[in-house]
Amino acid sequence: RRRGIRDAHELFLSYDQIEVEDIMLVRGELNLSEASLENAIILRNEFGKSWMVQLLAMTNEEIQEFCDEKRGNKSSIMALQRKLLRLDELKYMRTACPHNYVDRILQSLDAGKHVVVEFGSQSNMLSYMLAANLMTRRIHSSYVRKAEKFLQSKNPSDRPRPLVITIEEAHRFLDPSTVRQTIFGIIAREMRKYFVTLLVVDQRPSGIDNEVMSQVGTRITCLLNDDKDIEAIFTGVSGGQSLRSVLAKLDSKQQALILGHAVPMPVVVRTRAYDQKFYAEIGDTSWQEKSDEEVFAAAEAAKADLGF
């Protein structure tokens, strides 16, 4: 919004939207023990969606009383409460929200709109991991339901709109130590059958789990100098050794090697410049800079195309 982007909105999450499964995905960032997570399930079973709000408001005496009645572990619940207080530091967290912003994202995706989530100045890993995992878990659940409905009905109108989820700095979610925790690891391995694919963007592909890299069908790579990164790019690719010399000869700017399912053979391409000519050719017209006559002429042409 500060950059003047149209249709930009702030996104907030409320504590009642966070499920125990979301907390499990960031257990490493919060340093949560297995015992704390087990007690989170006890709290969820007792309080439902408001389990986290109830927990954060509890006094030591109330925690003790709860443990006496529900067989929870006091020290584990107190540790869970203490560590979840870190969520108060996240700028997008609210006790309650007037809207479900994640549902709005799903509605935009259903309408065929592109959705970009930016974290701005919130650069800490917990902020990034919690929001990205929470939103993607909801998208995952929605698409699994839609795909299963389509497979049962065989009705073309039930066919889910194919979705590509793009993640930048992908090694944060897909490195060997966290890939088992994040929803992105599941999507990379099995979501193609549910009409969802993953577009992985990273400057250090060696930081991504080998199992995930082997699932990436098409790869677009610019010049790389690190041997580990080069080796990661050619993981599971036949003839990878011969392509190393091709990769080494790429220009440092505007050249890339494409290999995999999308092309019949590896090919070197020159990328286009993102200038006014590029945006004009893809139909992204800056109407504010056009004269009234040009705008009206374009409107009449559009009406004719639609049959009016």
More confident residue, 73 or 178: 73
Domain boundaries, the chain: 13-98, 99-216, 276-306
The fold for domain 99-216 equals: Rossmann fold (3.40.50)
pLDDT at 38: 93
- Which has the minimum average pLDDT: 62-66, 254-258, 273-277? 273-277
Is residue 3 over pLDDT 80? Answer: no
Verdict on whether the full-model pTM lies above 0.75: yes
Q: Is the pLDDT of residue 288 over 80?
A: no
pLDDT tens-digit profile of 59-105? 999 999 999 888 889 999 999 999 999 998 888 888 888 888 888 99
Burial tier of 25 (Cβ tally within 10 Å: 0-12, 13-18, 19+): buried
Closest by CA position to 225, among listed 242, 201, 203, 209: 203
Is-contact 139 109, C-beta < 8 A?
A: yes
Mean pLDDT of 163-189: 81
Instruction: Write the DSSP string, the chain.
Output: -TT--TT-----EEGGG--HHHHHHTHHHHT--HHHHHHHHHHHHHHGGGHHHHHHH--HHHHHHHHHHH---HHHHHHHHHHHGGGGGSTTEES--SS-HHHHHHHHHHTT-------TT---HHHHHHHHHHHHHHHHHHHHHHHHHHHHH--GGGPPPPEEEEESSTHHHHSTTTTTTSHHHHHHHHGGGGTEEEEE--S-GGGS-HHHHHH--EEEE-----HHHHHHHTTT-TTHHHHHHHHHTS-SSSEEEEEETTSSS-EEEEPPP-SHHHHHHTT---GGGS-HHHHHHHHHHHHHHTT-
**What is the pLDDT, as a whole number, of residue 62?**
92
Quote the pLDDT of residue 93: 87
pLDDT of 123 above 80: no
Residue at token pair 């409107």 = 299
